[in-house]
Amino acid sequence: MPILTITSDIGPQDFLTGAIKGRILSVNETFNIVDISHSLDAYNYPQAAYVCRNAFRHFPPDSFHLVLVNLFDAKAQHLLLARHQDQYIGIADNGLLTMILEERPEEVVVLPLDPTRRKDALYYTEVFAKAFSALLSGGQMDRIGIPGQSIREKHPLKPMIGPDWIEGQIIFIDHFENVVVNIRREDFEAQRQGRRFKIVFRRDEVIDRIAETYADVPEGEKTAIFNAAGYLEVAINKGNAAGLFGLQRFKYEQAQGSGAFMQSRLFYQTVRVYFES
């Protein structure tokens, strides 16, 4: 059975999460539907990119991924169907695609929308499901959609780097209130160069070593690890780091025509790592 994942910011309590699955199966009942998340924050592109990027890469080749995030960021005339590293992605043309992939897709086509249809999540789902089903039947992407069209691009949120420091932003807080920062292990080690370090965050809290697991420190103690996706994570063994330290992700907006993200509404949170000079 072909795998089709769904990621959305709709919320698990909304009828749409079930209706979307029903609309997919009405188009092609052979799809094996897998939920990634329906609890993403609205308009938080870096969070959505983090979740999608680190989930999609674990699926078998030729899996289909339906991304219903920030669908109505702008009035849409079309949707996007992309193929990248043997994965198919159906997504709105809102810039999130290039943030997920951290580059342009290997292949992308535009899926036109019927101007007579109501533009809602269920109609978009139907468009994507029909495109995915056509691919399963042997259709070519350049016949299913229109190639060669320009698409919106947004740049992934990157940490700031100095000679003796690296500063990242909080991009995700998990169910246990562990705090994920957009500093990857390879970026950390490249800046560290074998030096001792201090991880500093709100209220002048400091961590000076990286643990392998949460249990490497006593219960109730703070720690830092690199999680399964390779990102720096601030945690408390059997506690909640976000609540105790007053850490929170913030809402992001990207300035038009710019790769820079600006804070909006929520308090801007960073975590800085200082390296011994």
Q: Are residues 85 and 214 in the same domain?
A: no
In a domain, 92, yes or no: yes
Got the DSSP string for 60-83? PTTEEEEEESSTTSS--SEEEEEE
Same domain as 125, residue 254 = no
User: How much is the pTM?
Assistant: 0.87
Q: What integer pLDDT is reported at residue 244 of this predicted model?
A: 52
Q: Does any domain span residue 204? A: yes
Contact 149, 155 (CB under 8 A): no
What residues form DSSP beta bridges with 167? 160, 272
* Residue 112 in domain: yes
Q: Give a yes or no: residue 93 inside a domain.
A: yes
Are 75 and 211 members of one domain? no
> Are 130 and 20 contained in the same domain?
yes
Mark whether 109 and 21 lie in a shared domain: yes
Please tell me whether residues 100 and 136 are part of one structural domain.
yes
pLDDT at 242: 64
Secondary structure percentages of the chain, helix, strand, coil, to 5: 25, 30, 45
Question: How many Å apart are CA 270 and CA 40, to the nearest integer?
Answer: 20
84 in a structural domain: yes
The pLDDT value given to residue 48: 96
- Whether 253 and 157 have beta carbons less than 8 Å apart is answered as no
* Shared-domain flag, residues 110 and 168: no
Domain assignment present for residue 155? The answer is: no
Query: Among residues 122, 147, 172, which one ends one of the domains?
Result: 147
User: Same structural domain for residues 35 and 85?
Assistant: yes
Tell me which of 147, 175, 192 is where a domain ends.
147
For residue 267, what is the DSSP state?
Answer: P
How many structural domains is the chain composed of?
2
Coil, helix or strand at residue 209: coil
* pLDDT for 262: 44
Which of 63, 78, 237, 95 has its CA nearest to residue 144? 78
Q: What is the DSSP letter of 54?
A: H
Tokens for 238, please give them: 């059997």
CA quadruple 114, 120, 124, 130: dihedral sign: negative
Confirm whether 152 is domain-assigned.
no
Please check whether residues 268 and 168 belong to one and the same domain.
yes
List the chain residues with pLDDT less than 70.
203, 239-268
> Where residue 16 sits, what CATH number does that domain have?
3.40.50.10790
**189 and 251 part of one domain:** yes
What is the spatial distance between Cα 135 and Cα 227, in angstroms, rounded to a whole number?
35
Q: Is 56 helix (H, G, I), strand (E, B) or coil?
A: helix
User: Please, are residues 121 and 18 in contact by the beta-carbon 8 Å criterion?
Assistant: no
Does 141 share its domain with 166? no
**What's the domain range around 251?**
160-275
- Euclidean distance between CA atoms 74 and 234, whole angstroms: 35
Closest CA to 57 of 9, 96, 100: 100
Tell me the C-alpha distance between 206 and 198, whole Å. 6
The domain that holds 267 is classified in CATH as: 2.40.30.90
The tokens of 255 are what?
């300035």
**247 and 113 in a common domain:** no
Query: Which domain-ending residue is among 124, 147, 170?
Result: 147
